[in-house]
Amino acid sequence: MTNHNGQEQATPLTALQPDGFAYLNGELFVEGLSVDKIADKVPTPFYCYSAATIRNAYTLLADKLKPSGASICFAVKANSNISVLRLLSGLGSGMDIVSGGELERALTAGVSPSKIVFSGVGKTRAEIARALGVGIHQINVESAAELDVIRDVARNFGCRAPIVLRVNPDVDARTHAKISTGKKGDKFGISIESITDLYASAAEAPELDLQGLAVHIGSQLLNLSPYQAAYGRLATVVKELRSNGLAVRRLDLGGGLGISYDFGLGPDVSEYADIITESLSGLRCELTVEPGRWLVGPAGILVTEVLYLKKTGDIVTAVVDAAMNDLIRPSLYGAVHPVLPLRSSDDRSTCAYQLAGPVCETSDVFGSYGNLPPLQSGARISFGCAGAYGASMASSYNSRDLVAEVLVDVDRFRLIRRRQTIDDLLGLETSTPWQTTQPNAEAANTVGMGRI
Ligand code: LLP
């Protein structure tokens, strides 16, 4: 038996591997199930998640955070499937949301509003009203202008809005520029220079129940020193506010803990927890973290099938049936997701392929891989570490339907989102009264245009 890197592993898959995925007799298993067998029943492409991997990650992080007393609010944007939210909520997790849609998802998953934190740089009046209406635990305020709207909505409701102010600490998270959020000039948070004044005025507003501060400097942090810098600055602000006689009870520390996309070692979670304890425990605040990727990223794969092989210049391109609309991270951030074939061949030879999707964009390429087994049309492969920001970032570009999601738990699996149909897609659109119906459109209606 071999692991993802092709190394021999001593133990057969009798119990769950720590990461939930392993090869058994040349076949890729998610927990106790062969992915190929699932793919016989669920048409590719589809996302497949391992419940045990999510449970293990949550339990480990919660355990490491115990000395700091920090609680966990899962960043719903990383994977917003209701069954995944339910799984995490069942383990004790709260939720960090960034839109009214995510709020409805969390509520539908049965999460108590008293465990939901509302982040996000552009909350609408309607979203704020709904959050206050359900009795949300906390709204993280991103600007003075937003604070005014929250006050106004709370006044109309006759309630006090529970808030914290998100500070932009001007710290370089040393991550990809597109997911860095804590530098001066980034659109997020309130600048560290103006935070104390705004805090003082918010503390006086009768419509506001000002609880503390929040910070989130970016995502996919592999180096932990930016956390140290940001939390150090946060602690300084807390001390300054307190010395001005202002109460600071809660600190929301954001998410961002990175994962290794090549099954190597990621950042040390014990070290991360120690940084929190050392930087902030002395302040005696209620602490919360908002991890997304770290909890669910390694728990998911995107299963796809090779459609065609073609020679493109010096390299062979395998066109697969998944595309950038299903997993946008490679084209958006240049991310490289590991490839896990569903069956490893006895033939140990390897080939180089560019893996590309069918979308009409040159950037619809997953990457060039040097060490894949020989592929042919019909071969099934998967992209690993796709449990975070995969399905949740998918679109229907090129009128491709959103793919299905499957959750595996030990030896059973369930379709936790069915694949979108063409009728779902077209059903959102209405015709104008001034355009005449084309004969072809009528034909399409009469034959029902099922998914091809
Ligand atoms: N809290 C806040 C306020 C956030 O903005 C985010 C992520 C998180 C928590 C969770 O961060 P995480 O622990 O997942 O790194 N689409 C990008 C990632 C965007 C992250 C946006 N904010 C990607 O695929 O890499």
Residues 311 and 230 in one domain: no
DSSP secondary structure string for all residues of 41-65: HSPSSEEEEEHHHHHHHHHHHHHHH
Report pTM.
0.93
Per-residue confidence (pLDDT) for residue 345, from 0 to 100: 74
Residue in the structure block whose two tokens are 């006895």: 346
Contact predicate 228/267, CB 8 Å: no
* Same domain as 308, residue 194: no
Mapped onto helix, strand or coil, the DSSP state of residue 450 is coil
CA distances from residue 286 to 16, 213, 252 in whole angstroms, order as listed: 35, 11, 8
Q: How far is the CA of 316 from the centre of ligand 1 (A)?
A: 34
Is residue 281, in this structure, part of any structural domain at all?
A: yes
Does the beta carbon of 293 sit less than 6 angstroms from any atom of ligand 1?
yes
pLDDT digit string, tens, across residues 140-185? 999 999 999 999 999 999 999 999 999 999 998 889 888 888 889 8
221-244 confidence digits (pLDDT tens): 999 999 999 999 999 999 999 999
Asked if the structure places residue 448 within a domain, the reply is no
Phi, psi of 371 (to 5 degrees): -125, 50
Q: Is the domain of 313 the same as that of 286?
A: no
For residue 248, the model assigns a pLDDT of 98
The atom number, within ligand 1, closest to the CA of 328 reads 24
Contact 23, 344 (CB under 8 A): yes
Helices (H), 142-210: 144-157, 195-204
The CATH number linked to 268 is 3.20.20.10
Q: Are residues 159 and 227 in the same domain?
A: yes
Q: Is 360 a catalytic residue?
A: yes
Q: How many CB atoms lie within 10 A of CB 397?
A: 15
Please tell me the distance from the alpha carbon of residue 401 to that of residue 75, in angstroms, as a whole number: 25
pLDDT for res 438: 66
Confidence of residue 344 (pLDDT cuts 50, 70, 90): confident
Q: Is the Cβ atom of 256 under 6 angstroms away from ligand 1?
A: yes
List the catalytic residue out of 73, 351, 360, 385: 360
In this structure, the chain runs to a length of 452
Q: How far apart are CA 91 and CA 71, in angstroms?
A: 12
User: What is the pLDDT averaged over residues 19-35?
Assistant: 94
Q: What is the pLDDT of residue 348?
A: 81
Q: How far is it, in rounded angstroms, from Cα 298 to Cα 382?
A: 13
Instruction: Answer yes or no: is pLDDT of 2 > 60.
Output: no
Q: Is 68 in the pocket of ligand 1 (CB under 6 A)?
A: no
Q: Do 280 and 304 reside in the same domain of the chain?
A: no
Instruction: Indicate the residue among 248, 266, 297 that finishes a domain.
Output: 297
What pLDDT score was predicted for residue 440?
66
Clarify whether residues 115 and 197 are in a common domain.
yes
Quote the ligand 1 centre to 217 CA distance (angstroms). 9
Q: Give the model's pLDDT for residue 264.
A: 79
Q: How far away, in angstroms, is 392 Cα from ligand 1 center?
A: 12
Q: Do 335 and 266 sit in the same domain of this protein?
A: no
Domain check: are 148 and 271 in the same one?
yes
Mutate to test the pocket of ligand 1, among 74, 77, 180, 395 (most ligand atoms within 8 A of CB): 77
Q: Does 254 sit in the ligand 1 pocket, CB within 6 Å? A: yes
Q: What is the pLDDT of residue 19?
A: 72
Cα 75 to ligand 1 centroid, rounded to whole Å? 7
Asked whether residue 399 falls in the same domain as residue 360, the answer is yes
C-beta 140 within 6 A of ligand 1: no
Say if ligand 1 is within 6 A of residue 220 CB. yes
Report whether pLDDT(346) > 80.
no
- CB of 327 shorter than 6 A to ligand 1: no
| 287 and 216 in a common domain | yes
- Which residue's CA lies nearest to atom 7 of ligand 1? 219
> What is the structure's pLDDT at 436?
76
Ligand 1 atom at minimal distance to the Cα of residue 221: 15
Please give the tally of structural domains in the chain: 2
Domain assignment present for 13: no
Phi, psi of 332 (to 5 degrees): -85, -40
CA distances to 430, 431, 437, 446 from 434, in Å:
12, 9, 9, 22
- Least confident segment among 16-30, 213-227, 321-335: 16-30
**Same domain membership, residue 258 and residue 334:** no
Sequence-ordered list of residues with C-beta below 8 angstroms from that of 388, at least 6 positions apart, any chain: 78, 79, 259, 292, 293, 295, 296, 297, 300
For residues 39-52, give the mean pLDDT. Answer: 98
Question: What's the gap in Å between 256 CA and the centre of ligand 1?
Answer: 6
CB count within 10 Å of CB 215 equals 27
Q: 283 near 251, Cβ under 8 Å?
A: yes
Of the chain, the end-to-end C-alpha distance in Å amounts to: 38
Domain that holds residue 119: 53-297
CA–chain centroid gap for 419, Å, is 20
**Which of 93, 219, 383 to mutate to test ligand 1, by most ligand atoms within 8 A of the CB atom?**
219
Spatial distance between the Cα atoms of 235 and 253, rounded to a whole number of angstroms: 11
Q: To which residue do tokens 């190597």 refer?
A: 264
